Homo-oligomer: A and B are copies of this chain.
């Protein structure tokens, strides 16, 4: 089951590509967090990844590709992590777990989330489209759970409100990443997650009454 590569490489060995790109992404994330995409040089990325500048360019075509790989990696990680918990059985239990797990991921990958939002502008049009599509897939994920809950009768909200509710779930999760500098003074990440999950579910189920 060969993995379709989204970024061209002049190296043929697919497993080597995967290995080197993992190194590359790891190094790049560290550097991008510290100084941002534009202030990080390709030489620094290569060095941090543990190989030469020439080798770096064997695995990408342009600096922008590194940013794309980073973004893609983040979504892949989140999707992998979430997919474990989601079966779309349509219980509030499942919804609650999914939200909680997503919020935990946002906390664990705070820097990555911030980085992606701040730097995605540097992507080419095509790459940006791809990333936005991935973001929409995250929204859909929650839309599907909400839908399943409506079908199973556990939730009574109007069809039209489902997309907005899904966006709310996501945005309130990401809020922790973007406003941690302010929120962390008052709440621990655990507290934050608990309060948010509780309020969100209350908000969504409120309409039931």
Contacts and interface: CB of A to CB of B under 8 A. Distances in A.
Interface of A: 36, 38-39, 117-119, 121-122, 132, 135-136, 139, 160-161, 163-164, 167-168, 171-172, 175, 178-179, 181-183, 186-187, 195, 199, 202-203, 206
Contacts of A38: 38, 122
A113 to B, nearest CB: 12
Contact of A168 (B118, B172, B206): B172
A206 B195 contact: no
A110 to B, nearest CB: 14
List the 9 closest pairs (A to B, CB-CB), nearest first: A38-B38, A171-B175, A36-B121, A118-B118, A203-B203, A118-B121, A163-B186, A167-B179, A136-B182
Contact of A195 (B135, B136, B164): B164
Given A118-B117, A163-B186, A171-B172, A202 B195 contact: no
Nearest to A166: B182
B164 A171 contact: no
B181 A132 contact: yes
